[in-house]
Chain A
Amino acid sequence: MKKQWIRHAAAALTILGAGALGFGVAAWADGKPAKHVKHARLIKVSARRFVFNPSTIKLKKGETVDFELKTEDVLMGFSVPDFNTRSDIPPGQVMHLTLTPDKTGTFTFLCDIFCGSGHENMSGTIVVE
């Protein structure tokens, strides 16, 4: 329990620190979102070789969302370089990643852990309006 609290506190500190840069970032395994993001819109993203579902995600600028990430087969990554955030997605675990986009536009998210012969095409789009 203590370890879980420390993990959530660390995630909250990460969010607060990143918030100063205009976006929120946190990732942890099988935990619940930290208190101040509990009302974030939940967006479930499923990964399998070599696709993300959904592959297009629409967000609003300034809206905090909580990505719930799962993989159906092998270890994957979920990376959004334009917002400097990422998470591993290990098999059998549920990962969470919060994001508060501070700019509008169309941005790529991708698997950044080489996962097989179709890895290089494994990406999707985040549209921030």
Chain B
Amino acid sequence: MRRNIDRRQFLQLAGLGGAVFVSGLAGFASSGAGADAGSGGGDFYFVQLSDSHWGFQGPAVNPDAQGTLRKAVAAVNALHDAPDFVIFTGDLTHTTDDPAERRKRLGEFRDIVKDLRIKEVRYMPGEHDASLDAGAAYKEFFGDTHYTFDHKGVHFIALDNVSDPRASLGDAQLQWLAQDLAKLDKKQRIVVFAHRPLFDLAPSWDWATPDGAKAVDLLMPFDNVVVFYGHIHQENHHMTGHIAHHSAKSLMFPLPAPLSVPKKAPLPWDASAPYKGLGFREIELEGGKADITELPIKA
């Protein structure tokens, strides 16, 4: 893929390249068959941004709380080749108990990301956006909280494990998922987006989905499934059987490694390394592989 080579060369030359995580053996495993499944298959890449927490205030954690999202938007616009689409995997805004303020933050977020020069931008809610009103305000701005779409032979599924304040997917959504999957060939390439992990990463830190295992069970018969999520503000790579789960960094503050400290709390700003731990990622779906390139936020 010539475009891909050019883009990687650009990343190296620009010093932007982060770790590349290849999940070719973890998720999109059956390369030939998986890549051929579906119609109109082709290689492409998209960008995942997550946990921008617009409205957060805490100078000790991020003194550039008003600027970091804008820097991310500019960084995406500056990518050598435009991604096919961008997706925000939840916690677009920082939670507030005031419904009017919630809408104000959602509106401000929407206005900032309007500057993305990407044809297709997709959204999902996080618990900060949706758990206090069952997603009502979020839907006013961004529409459905769970949905599917197809792109170049890949079936994408966005799940909502945040509109329920208990963080469950719920029986209705699981039934919807089962019905959607029933239409697919078992070799169909599937990418799942969720805000929270669908597995028990750290339940005592609320890093889990109570009925996430039911969704994973429904996905398990499919050969080529990979899950991208947010919520935990750091990279994490986990396998449930042959299904890979990859969490993304935040655009506001990093959190400590799962269960590494007694109390979960945002990591303090490092003045010697501004924006450390923040970033976004490119995900390239090429043949039977999903390649992840982590990109930092820079001053």
Contacts and interface: CB of A to CB of B under 8 A. Distances in A.
Nearest to B210: A112
Interface stretch (A10-18, A21-29, A39-47, A116-124): A116-124
Q: For chain A, what secondary structure do more than half of its interface residues adopt (helix, strand, loop), or is it mixed?
A: mixed
Contacts of A110: 204, 206
Contact of B95 (A107, A117, A125): A117
Contacts of A123: 263
Given A77-B166, A120-B264, A123-B263, A114 B204 contact: no
B9 to A, nearest CB: 41
A112 B132 contact: no
Interface in A44-89: 75, 77, 79, 81-82
A125 B97 CA distance: 26
A112 B265 CA distance: 17
B55 to A, nearest CB: 10
B165 interface: yes
A37 interface: no
A117 B97 contact: yes
Contacts of A121: 265
Interface in B156-172: 165-167
Interface string A96-119: 000000000011101011111101
Residue among A77, A112, A115 facing the most chain B CB atoms (10 A cut-off): A112
Contacts of B250: none
A103 to B, nearest CB: 14
Contacts of B265: 121
Contact of B166 (A112, A117, A120, A125): A112
B97 A112 contact: no
B96 interface: yes
Residue among A79, A112, A114 facing the most chain B CB atoms (10 A cut-off): A114
Nearest to A116: B97
B166 A116 contact: no
Contacts of B264: 120
A123 B264 CA distance: 10
Contacts of A120: 206, 264
B131 interface: yes
A114 B167 contact: yes
B131 A114 contact: yes
Interface in B131-156: 131-132
B166 A107 contact: no
B165 A114 contact: yes
A119 B166 CA distance: 12
Given A82-B204, A107-B204, A114 B127 contact: yes
Contacts of B127: 114
B268 interface: no
B221 interface: no
A114 B264 CA distance: 16
B204 A81 contact: yes
A107 B202 CA distance: 12
Interface of A: 75, 77, 79, 81-82, 106-108, 110, 112-117, 119-121, 123, 125
22 contacts: A75-B165, A77-B166, A79-B203, A81-B204, A82-B204, A106-B262, A108-B204, A108-B205, A110-B204, A110-B206, A112-B167, A113-B166, A114-B131, A114-B166, A116-B95, A116-B97, A117-B95, A120-B206, A120-B264, A121-B265, A123-B263, A125-B262
List 10 A-B pairs, minimum CB-CB distance, nearest first.
Answer: A114-B131, A81-B203, A114-B165, A108-B204, A81-B204, A113-B165, A116-B97, A117-B97, A114-B127, A117-B95
Interface of B: 95-97, 127, 131-132, 165-167, 203-206, 208, 262-265
